[in-house]
Amino acid sequence: MKKIHIVGLGLLGGSFALALKQAKPDLIFTGYDANAKNQADALTLGIIDEACEEPDADTDVIMLATPANTLTGLLLKYLNQIGSNTLIIDFGSTKSKLCKAVANHPKRAQYLSGHPIAGTEYSGPKAAKADLLDKKVFIICEMELTDVHLKGMAYDILEALNMKLRFMDAEEHDRHLAFVSHLSHVSSFMLGKTVLDKMEDERNIFDMAGSGFASTVRLAKSSPAMWAPIMEENKNNILEALSLYISNLSKFRDKIIADDYEGLASDMHKINKIGDILDLGK
Q: Binders of its own copies among 111-140, rule CB under 8 A?
A: 117-119, 121, 136-137, 139
Q: Using CB under 8 A as the criterion, what x/- string covers residues 79-98 for binding its own copies?
A: --------------x-----
Examine residue 200 and tell whether it contacts its own copies (CB under 8 A).
no
Q: Which stretch binds its own copies (CB under 8 A): 37-45, 56-64, 79-87, 215-223?
A: 215-223
How many chain residues touch its own copies (CB under 8 A)? 94
Contact indicator for 127, 166 with CB cutoff of 8 Å: no
| C-beta of 85 vs 181, nearer to its own copies | 181
Query: What is the spatial distance between Cα 237 and Cα 199, in angstroms, rounded to a whole number?
Result: 32
Among 22, 44, 162, 266, binds its own copies (CB under 8 A): 266
| C-beta of 60 vs 90, nearer to its own copies | 90
Query: What is the spatial distance between Cα 249 and Cα 1, in angstroms, rounded to a whole number?
Result: 51
| C-beta of 55 vs 229, nearer to its own copies | 229
Examine residue 141 and tell whether it contacts its own copies (CB under 8 A).
no
One-letter amino acid at 234 equals N
Examine residue 269 and tell whether it contacts its own copies (CB under 8 A).
yes
Examine residue 188 and tell whether it contacts its own copies (CB under 8 A).
yes
Nearest Cα residue to 126 out of 62, 52, 35: 35
User: Which of positions 156-175 make contact with its own copies (CB under 8 A)?
Assistant: 166
Interacting residues of 219 by C-beta distance below 8 A, sequence separation 6+: 121, 184, 185, 188, 189
Examine residue 229 and tell whether it contacts its own copies (CB under 8 A).
yes
| C-beta of 77 vs 251, nearer to its own copies | 251
The terminus-to-terminus CA distance of the chain in angstroms comes to 36
Interacting residues of 264 by C-beta distance below 8 A, sequence separation 6+: 252, 255, 256
Beta pairing partners, 47:
none
Measured at the alpha carbon of residue 163, what is the angle toward residues 162 and 165, in degrees to the nearest 5?
140
Examine residue 235 and tell whether it contacts its own copies (CB under 8 A).
yes
